[in-house]
Amino acid sequence: MSKKLMIFGGSGFVGGNMTKIAQQNGWEVYIADNRPHPNLEAEWWMVNITDKNSVEKAIAAVNPTAVVNVAAIADIDQAEKEKELAHKINVDGARYVAESCVRKGIRYVFFSSDAVFDGESSRYSEDDQPAPVNYYGRTKLEAERAVFRAHPAAVVIRISLVVGFPVTGGNSFFANLESKLKLGKEILVPTYEIRTPVDVLTLAECVLELCENGFSGVIHIGATDSVSRYDLTREVTRRMGYAEQLIKPQDMPEAIPGRAPRHKNGIISVARAQRILKTRLLSTEESIQRAFNERLLVDGPKRVDEEDTP
């Protein structure tokens, strides 16, 4: 009997990579999203996650083994500006999927964020008290609670920063950085924001394992160490073949117009994941290297001066 995986938000950066990894591992993948993507060879379902009936119909029709929900307004600044939409997708949508899954006894894995924390402590475990500093973080915390109320056996994954290249599109840090570097302009990056990155391929492997291993509750997934956004950006810039001098440090938190508050320390403990999962979690350096190795396998060598036109 085939294993069926339904991915809400499957057309995005994380969802697209997860689709690829799942198919390589023998899963039959169904993408539930509001737009198809030509790069993904998977059955696609037009679903409006803010519509309970739309969610229920798709899950009932596919009757998957497991459902993963990565659909979100994940842009922190957008969530701050478009609060109603962010709440509908991040909170209501998460609850609708949980309610539909629990009725049919389907495994449910929901994506949350280290943004549920205030970033003032040196490290955060799954049991530490959440205190989000922006609206995005508040929606994720509210969603976590709504998911567990509806589906007590669900899995909530908290991530800090996902690195890698997209197979579709979506909110990819690497892709966004590369597009800015191509313009040759200086980029201001905070030195005081610390994150615990995970490459998208390792993340996908962890998710697939969680779809089958029976764990329920909250779990943090990230690298075995943490890094400042500034140092990470400089290293990725260097590996892309651009001058590290284009990356300029922003040393003092400043109120930037249109930019929502950020938590400083996204240093999450991955000790629970290391105990529970067979998938090996990587260091930050290994995570970056794996992302670039995968790009070489897919795209081949790429020069900085390479034209993007046919």
Greatest CA span in the chain, whole angstroms? 56
Asked if residue 244 is part of any domain, the answer here is no
For residue 157, pLDDT over 50 is answered with yes
Neighbours of 221 (CB within 10 A): 24
The pLDDT of residue 302: 52
| pLDDT band with cut points at 50, 70 and 90 for residue 300 | low
For residue 305, pLDDT over 50 is answered with no
Average pLDDT over residues 137-158: 98
When divided into structural domains, the chain yields a total of: 1
Report which of residues 302 and 21 the model is more confident about.
21
DSSP strand E in the chain: where?
3-8, 27-33, 43-46, 66-69, 107-113, 155-159, 161-163, 187-190, 194-195, 197-199, 217-220, 227-228, 247-250
The pLDDT of residue 307: 40
Asked if residue 273 is part of any domain, the answer here is yes
* Residue 133 phi, psi (nearest 5): -105, 0
Beta strand 227-228 with 194-195 is antiparallel
Q: Please write the tens of the pLDDT for every residue from 65-116.
A: 999 999 999 999 999 999 999 999 999 999 999 999 999 999 999 999 999 9
CA dihedral 270, 160, 173, 29 (to 10 degrees): 70
Q: How far apart are CA 17 and CA 10, in angstroms?
A: 9
Q: How far apart are CA 99 and CA 91, in angstroms?
A: 12
Asked if residue 182 is part of any domain, the answer here is no
Q: Please write the tens of the pLDDT for every residue from 193-216.
A: 999 999 999 999 999 999 999 999
Q: Is the pTM of the predicted complex or chain greater than 0.75?
A: yes
| pLDDT band with cut points at 50, 70 and 90 for residue 2 | confident
- Determine contact, residues 173/161, Cβ cutoff 8 Å: yes
Q: Please write the tens of the pLDDT for every residue from 247-274.
A: 999 887 666 667 888 999 999 999 999 9
Q: How far apart are CA 53 and CA 242, in angstroms?
A: 48
Asked if residue 236 is part of any domain, the answer here is no
Average pLDDT over residues 217-222: 98
For residue 301, pLDDT over 90 is answered with no
User: Which domain, by its residues, includes 121?
Assistant: 3-170+197-225+269-299
Neighbours of 225 (CB within 10 A): 15
* Average pLDDT value for the chain: 92
For residue 303, pLDDT over 60 is answered with no
The pLDDT of residue 306: 44
Q: Which two tokens stand for residue 215?
A: 């764990």
The pLDDT of residue 100: 98
The pLDDT of residue 253: 66
The 3-class SS string of 90-153 reads: HHHHHHHHHHHHHHHCCEEEEEEEHHHCCCCCCCECCCCCCCCCCHHHHHHHHHHHHHHHHCCC
Q: How far apart are CA 228 and CA 265, in angstroms?
A: 9
The pLDDT of residue 57: 97
Q: Using alpha carbons, list the distances in angstroms from residue 265 to 40, 60, 70, 73, 226.
A: 35, 41, 23, 21, 9
For residue 139, pLDDT over 80 is answered with yes
Q: How far apart are CA 113 and CA 277, in angstroms?
A: 19
Asked if residue 212 is part of any domain, the answer here is yes
| pLDDT band with cut points at 50, 70 and 90 for residue 295 | confident
Domain of residue 81, CATH code: 3.40.50.720
Asked if residue 307 is part of any domain, the answer here is no
How far, rounded to the nearest angstrom, does the alpha carbon of residue 108 sit from its chain's CA centroid?
16
Listed in sequence order, the residues at least 6 apart from 53 whose beta carbon sits closer than 8 Å to its beta carbon are none
Of the listed ranges 1-10, 22-31, 128-137, the least confidently predicted one is 1-10
